[in-house]
Structure formats: structure tokens, C-alpha cells
Amino acid sequence: MNCARHRTLLASLAVLLALLGGCIVSDLTNALRRGQLGWLGKFPKIELEEPPAPEGTLSDPVPMTVHPDAEFDLTTIDDKGLAVFVSDRSGNWDLWAQPLDGAPPQRLLDLPSRESQPVVSPDRDWVAFVSDHSDEHGDIHRVKLEPSGTLDQVNRSGRKEEEQLPRVNTIESSPQWVNDDLIAFTSKTSDGWRLFAYDWDSEKTWLLSSSEVREFALSPDEDHGSLIAYLAGGALWLARLENGRGDKPLRGVRVSPGTALEGFPAWGMRESDKGLWLYYTRWMDDTNLDGLVDAEDNPSLWRIEVDSVAAKTIGLPEPLTGGEAYDVSPAPSKHGLYFVRQRGTGVGIVRLPLAGRAAGLRADEAQVDAIQNWGSAYDRLLGYRWVRQRARTASNQSLEIRCTYEIAEEFEALDNLGQAMAAY
């Protein structure tokens, strides 16, 4: 992957792209009428178990997509056993769908414009996405998931509600379905990034909160009470999304302590008691040793338990991957944890147990002894961090101190003296 393409991919993964180019709406509509839209119904339903976790060692990610071109912007559809994602394998950013068992993918849209950030409606009838075909900055559209699908835009020209939400020459991003007819999204206004809602039936748009919201994830069902995890100021926050319109700020609490950059929030159900996990990405290690921790470094995936009644986190966050690759876009499914991984020149979708690479580890001294013999420094760091978090939860101070020492030693061996000192 050349440098320019690498920078483009990183920008899209961080949801910071400003889409370029475009085509007229009539071209898109005609393409849809010609049957260039795939249909999820033609995929057979699959039965796929969560991958097993090897005892006492780390799980290796299993590739789902194997292609030299980039795949990103991943979402999963559990009841159909499908992943919907963006790929440039055809030479353009198109929407694709693929069974979660790794069967061959099929293209959902074959259009000259660039599409990104697909999300499927709860009734599985529509997919909403961002496209540059009518606005170089990117607008949100939806299409029917059937061969004769039709196009709807969030901001149609000539619509009265545009006066309530001036968005000329701005970017719309991060579509999320609230229900089958209502979608939430972010828009860059003169006051910064804000959260809006749009009703497809009434064609009305309104402001949901006056708080900064760069990207976000809504809790998966009504039983958990309209929680929102959102990105503001480089960190993730958790709040209850109140009904109503516009002038109220979100009363958020930080998802995890520290100063790490965070993003890509995604909700998952707990395996045992049907509670909630919040999955997300953290940039916390200076993996390229340039003295900074930023989006150029390899991030890792984490999760934390959430109390949906109190709208707060429970316990400590758990590391799922360890910075050995560029891991983003977690998409938890009953079939496992899917995410986008870039390692070397390859970018694709991979799968792990829901508890991540460390799902089979134990929190004891013998496990720490075993970790010392692992070959990769970032594998060892993941193992020590996982055991340390469990030791803290169990108030096992001696085990916590030992893991902290081992973490500092690893960073010192990597010539990362700043993080070696910070480990203490």
C-alpha cells in the first residue's frame, strides 16, 4: 500500500475523511433501477459458533476477508449471519456483504461515487450510508435492500426542514438507526460537531443535543434505555440520551481513565446475563517510537461493562488486542468479535472470541511466568495488562505489582522510556 493510500485509509477509519468527487443523483437512481443493488435475502442463513479460546495463551485472529485491497467501516447483522462493509477491491469504495463464516462476498452497490459507513435498519429493509455522489463533503442516504431499490437522501434539495438545519457545504457522518424510520447522525455545524435526528416519514430533522458529538453508538435495544457512547475531545463518554430536542447537553461520564485517544464505540451483549459491553478502540502506546501517541500509532481494542440503569461503567476496562496491529471498528456479534485489522500492507476483517485475544488466560502467577516466554513484546504487554486488570479487580496487590513491573520492563526493552516510567 503506497503512502498516499495509507493516509487515505487511516483518515477514513478515523471518520475524518472529507469525501471528494461525486455524481448526479439521477445517475445513482438509474443505476439502482438497473439492478446494481444487491439483496441480503439471497445469502443463506448460517450457524456459526464463537471461536474457541486456547487455554493459557493468546487467540490468533481468524481472517474473514482475504483480499489485497482495503476493507473498513464494518457492521454485522446477527440474525442473518452477515457483515456489511466498505471495500475498494473493485477500484472504488463500494458497499459489500459477506457471510460471517467467510463465504464469498457480494457487492451491494456498484456506483461511480464513494460510499462509506453503512448501517442496516432494524427491520433489515434499508441500508443507510454516506456518499459523495451529490455533495463532495458527504451526505447520508438510504437504499432499499432489494434489486429494485430506491434512493432517499437525508438532506433533499428544496425541503422546508433545511431551514431548521443549515448544512450547506458541511459534512454529515456516523449514521445510526434509532428505529425503522428514525436515524441519528452527526453534522459539522458552525458550532462544531453536533448530533441530529431525521425522520424518513415526516422528513423532519432536529438537533438531539447541544454537546459536541464526533462519532457515537446507541445502545442496542429499548431494554437498556437509550444509552449513547460518544466521542468528544478525543475521549469516549457515556450518557443517557434524553428524549426531546436540541438545547440540552449530554451529561456524560468518561468511559475509561487516562489520556488515551479513543474512538469507534460499539455495543455488545454480555454472554451470560444479557447485560451490556461497550467495545472501543484506544490509541495508548507509542508503537512507532516517535515520542507521540496519536493516530499514526497502532491502536488496541478494549471493552468495559456498562450498567444500563445507572448509565455508568462497571469495573475496569479489559484489553482485547495489544497494539501488534492497527485494530479498529469492533463489531461484536453472537458469532464472535469482528474488527478491521491492518498489519503491514494488508487490511481486512478478522474474528476473535468476544473476550478478545486474552479470552483463555488466567489471572495468577503461573500465567505471568508463561507470558514471559512469549515471543512478541506486544503479545507479552497484552498478557500482562490483562492479568493486571484482573488482579486489580480482585484486589490482588502482589500480582498487580508484578505485572506493572513486567510492563515497565517491556517498554524499557522497546526503548520507550516514557511509557516505561508511566507504567508505575
Q: Please tell me whether residues 239 and 368 are part of one structural domain.
A: no
For the chain, list residues with pLDDT below 50. Answer: 1-44, 147-151, 153, 155-168, 224
Helix residue spans in 14-60 (DSSP H):
25-33
Biggest alpha carbon distance in the chain? 68
What's the pLDDT score for residue 78?
64
Q: Please tell me whether residues 277 and 385 are part of one structural domain.
A: no
Residue 223: Cβ-neighbour burial (10 angstroms; 0-12, 13-18, 19+): exposed
Q: Please tell me whether residues 365 and 235 are part of one structural domain.
A: no
Q: Please tell me whether residues 132 and 95 are part of one structural domain.
A: yes
Could you identify the residue written with the cell 517510537?
289
Q: Please tell me whether residues 17 and 127 are part of one structural domain.
A: yes
Q: How far apart are CA 243 and CA 382, in angstroms?
A: 40
Q: Please tell me whether residues 397 and 310 are part of one structural domain.
A: no
* Total number of domains in the chain: 2
Under 8 Å CB-to-CB from 265, ≥6 apart: which residues?
215, 216, 217, 229, 230, 231, 236, 255, 278, 279, 280
Nearest Cα to Cα of residue 279 among 295, 293, 262: 262
Q: What is the DSSP letter of 289?
A: -
| Domain termination site, one of 356, 372, 404 | 356
Q: Please tell me whether residues 258 and 275 are part of one structural domain.
A: yes
> What is this structure's pTM?
0.82
Q: Please tell me whether residues 159 and 252 are part of one structural domain.
A: yes
What's the pLDDT score for residue 173?
84
Q: Please tell me whether residues 83 and 16 are part of one structural domain.
A: yes
pLDDT tens, position by position, 121-143: 888 778 888 877 666 667 788 87
**395: containing domain:** 361-424
What's the pLDDT score for residue 66?
63
User: What CATH code is carried by the domain that includes residue 174?
Assistant: 2.120.10.30
| Domain termination site, one of 356, 385, 407 | 356
pLDDT tens, position by position, 199-244: 888 888 888 888 999 899 998 765 545 889 999 988 999 998 876 5
SS3 labels along 320-362:
CCCCCCEEEEEEEECCEEEEEEEECCEEEEEEECCCCCCCCCC
Contact 338, 350 (CB under 8 A): yes
Nearest Cα to Cα of residue 124 among 96, 84, 87: 84
Q: Please tell me whether residues 157 and 304 are part of one structural domain.
A: yes
| Domain termination site, one of 312, 327, 356 | 356
**Angle of CA points 323, 325, 330, to nearest 5°:** 85
**Angle of CA points 236, 237, 241, to nearest 5°:** 135
Q: Please tell me whether residues 315 and 184 are part of one structural domain.
A: yes
CA quadruple 234, 240, 246, 251: dihedral, nearest 10: -60
Residues counted in the chain: 424
Q: Please tell me whether residues 313 and 185 are part of one structural domain.
A: yes
